[in-house]
Structure 1
């Protein structure tokens, strides 16, 4: 049975208050780890390459002043995490607290027990330059990157957010929050430079503008600028509560997913930042509203895809999500169910090492019984969804593939992105529950028959996932989810027609949406024994 969860509104709040001071110290370590994982030999933070885009004099002087801070200075000042002081920090050239409203003008918090005094807690309309009352202008290069984020990338983040925080709130917040601004530029620069249709000759063109300064090193430049800011503000314990920095970490995690071929591997450095910020913000992130709430659910979806693809421990907290397991909260219910299944299969950092060992290995009889009971609970959810799932999650149009015409995937049209994302997470959970079924025979005459049944079920799920993704191209993240399933289960396909169709999905994801799939394609060709790809 599921371990009893301590009431989140009591336990998490206590841990959040205690963790804030420690988070300030960890924030510096996070920045250093990020710097180590960056390609620092290409673009140094201090010495900007001639090909890297220039920034405004105001932001350049701010970054320069921050970098002169010695490590001892950064760690020397202790800030009361629940202090109501609104005095601007005169020791730094840039202080987010100089932009905030007076206490009497503070909006009501979503969680009255949680104090948050960063400028990022204000409504976007209040985020103006305190000196001249105007937002700083961007140059043409930066304006193109900002527009690209709003038009092309924000929909990836806002697929289940009716208020579209990453399209509407984040860009305006970024105008007065340098780390968030540089995170946006980082993601846009890398993604835009990877899309073939924007290249004309040896230059990228977007929005009718040539971008000669956009090179392979541009994203690294902005990435290093962003991390320099993380390091420079790490002496403020309240920064761990800043929802804009949480949003910046989520955007950097997206950048890592797109950029890992250039880095050699997915280091998941941004995930460490997300964990630090969520440690201090988990209660309002889960139970509240606004940007912080939206960023938490995006981080959760990112973690699901990563943990599934890497077959590793689930690293974000789910304990506070108990109120969202109700069937009345449809999309969040499916997300949490998939995360629950990942925890069942690979363990969770919320568990103790002993619990994790018993869960994954079933060494003790008691552990085996508990694991079987937990499996039955997770399977029962699927049965319940099949019986009680709302009609809105049914396809508005469906058609089986015509194999005589070379079709492999079904057509499954859904009304909106939430339906696509939620149902795909349900399919990922089905893959895991099929493979990790504790009732499967390990030996004996029925073992081969059982494995053939497993392979058939996995092929059916992958085909369905690809059909959902290709039938709903208005939701590009669907292709990412489908590609994760292809990477894990594609070797089960033996027909050449199906293999070529799967490769077509991976090629489309890389060519149209800049997600790297070349290594997965090569691995599958080896597994299939294609000529020239033998092991």
Structure 2
């Protein structure tokens, strides 16, 4: 439990000013076995991640949690509480550590969100878990080049679209990236309004989203990626998601070339554009060690670019 609170809860709470997974989930886990077993499964897997032979403990906790989840998820809709959603979201984090990701718990979280659409704007732990689940869905959509499973309408009434604090600003960029991903891997055309919203987000973002220190990459300094120090992890995630959105927008832009030369020129411009934003995504992850889950996002971005046949940096 202490390992979860001190080292892992921030991954879930990175855009949550009230830190529900650190402060609320850990407290509820003393009385709610489904949360307790989910935390123990994820935390023990994290502690023994370098030694797969010690995965038995994590598996035992995981199985206990699943046994509690089955009747709740098989019952009526009102039996799916925010504790259930949070537990499945934690098990999804546990599942992400598997070498072969079967997406079982991702299927569970998206099913819950699409069935109980109020979680995305319910406030409290339910909404905090919903935003975590959305980020988890975005990761898989990027790496597998497939549409989102989550219905974004669930989030339309969230108060992050009215609030002006930094956590709300980052959550809005998460939502904007989700909209880009939703269009990028489906046959639907990307609405021009989304591109405009992304640029407005970048133009109007608070000053706290500007780096406190930055330095360009350069072989003479033995820096493969730019140095970009951000104030807090929440600022890292907002800026990182902005640059990932710019990558997808560049890759989704249809060429208007009328000749082979123009087509080649367009491809080179796209490659240059993507390289710049990808280096920024990687630099943000490397420069801000406390925002550990941005390393996961950087890895997923690399996979997405590789699958899109963009040369790796």
- Give the TM-score normalised by structure 2: 0.90
Deviation at 1:401, TM superposition (A): 2.2
Aligned equivalents of 1:327, 1:450: Cα separation in 2:
39
**Taking structure 1 as reference, are residues 240 and 342 closer, same or farther at Cα in structure 2, changes over 3 Å only?**
farther
Q: Distance in 2 between matches of 1:320 and 1:230?
A: 22
Match of 1:288 among 122, 130, 135: 122
Alignment of 1:99-110 (within 5 A): none
Per-residue deviation, 1:376: 2.3
Partner of 2:67: 228
Kindly state the Cα deviation for residue 195 of structure 1 after the two structures are TM-superposed: 4.2
How many residues are matched?
A: 306
Name the CA distance, whole Å, in 2 between partners of 1:375 and 1:439: 17
1:313 aligns with 2:121: no
Residue 437 (structure 1) shift: 0.3
Shift of 1:403: 2.0
Shift, 1:157, TM fit: 0.8
The answer for the alignment partner of 1:385 in structure 2 is: 201
- Deviation of the 1:235 alpha carbon: 5.9
Residue in structure 1 matching 2:137, options 303, 308, 311: 303
Quick check: 1:278 aligned with 2:278?
Answer: no
More displaced stretch, 385-394 vs 245-254: 385-394
RMSD: 2.3
Give a deviation string over 1:434-460, Cα, whole Å, max 9, x none. 011024548632111111111111111
Matched, 1:193 2:48: yes
245, 248, 251: which is aligned to 1:432? Answer: 248
Q: Confirm or deny: 8 A CA contact 1:459 1:489 kept in the other structure.
A: no
- By how many angstroms is 1:383 displaced? 2.8
1:468 paired residue among 263, 266, 284: 284
Match for residue 90 of structure 2 among 247, 251, 256? 251
Distance of 2:103 and 2:270 partners within structure 1:
31
Deviations 1:272-301 (A, max 9, x none): 221333244322x22222111110111111
Task: Find the residue that maps to 2:228 and give its secondary structure.
Answer: strand
Native 8 Å contact 1:327 1:333 kept in 2: no
Q: 1:163 to 1:385 in 2, by over 3 A?
A: closer
Q: Is contact 2:14–2:234 with CA below 8 Å preserved after alignment?
A: yes
CA–CA distance in structure 1, aligned partners of residues 103 and 237 of structure 2: 22
Higher CA-based Rg:
1
TM-fit CA distance, 1:406: 2.4
Q: Within 5 Å, give how 1:52-131 maps onto structure 2.
A: none
Mapped partners of 2:195, 2:112: distance in 1: 33
Alpha-carbon shift at residue 238 of structure 1 (Å): 5.5
Structure 1: segments with no counterpart, 5+ residues: 1-145, 197-201, 203-213, 348-356, 360-370, 499-535
Per-residue CA deviations over 1:463-519 (Å, capped at 9, x if unaligned) read 11111111111100111111111222256447xxx5xxxxxxxxxxxxxxxxxxxxx
Residues 173-203 of structure 1: CA deviation (Å, up to 9, x unaligned): 122222221111111121111147xxxxx9x
**Contact 1:233–1:239 (CA<8 Å) still a contact in 2?**
no
Q: Distance in 2 between matches of 1:248 and 1:481?
A: 22
Contact 2:106 2:136 in 1 (8 A): no
Q: Judge conservation of contact 1:286–1:296 (CA < 8 Å) in 2.
A: yes
Contact 1:187 1:254 in 2 (8 A): yes
Query: Aligned partners of 1:395, 1:154: CA distance in 2, in Å?
Result: 24
Whole-Å Cα distance in 2 between the matches of residues 277 and 334 of structure 1? 23
- The normalised TM-score by structure 1 is 0.54
Distance change >3 Å, CA 442–CA 342, structure 1 → 2: farther
Q: Give the 3 Å change call, closer, same or farther, for CA 228–492 of structure 1 in structure 2.
A: same
* Structure 2: stretches of 5+ with no match in the other structure: none
Q: Is the 8 A contact 1:396 1:413 kept in 2?
A: yes
* Change over 3 Å in CA distance of 1:186–1:453 after alignment to 2: same
Q: Which whole-Å CA distance do the structure 1 matches of 2:304 and 2:182 have between them? A: 17
- Tell me, in whole angstroms, the C-alpha distance in 2 between the residues paired with 1:482 and 1:250: 21
- Distance between the aligned counterparts of 2:31 and 2:258, measured in 1? 59
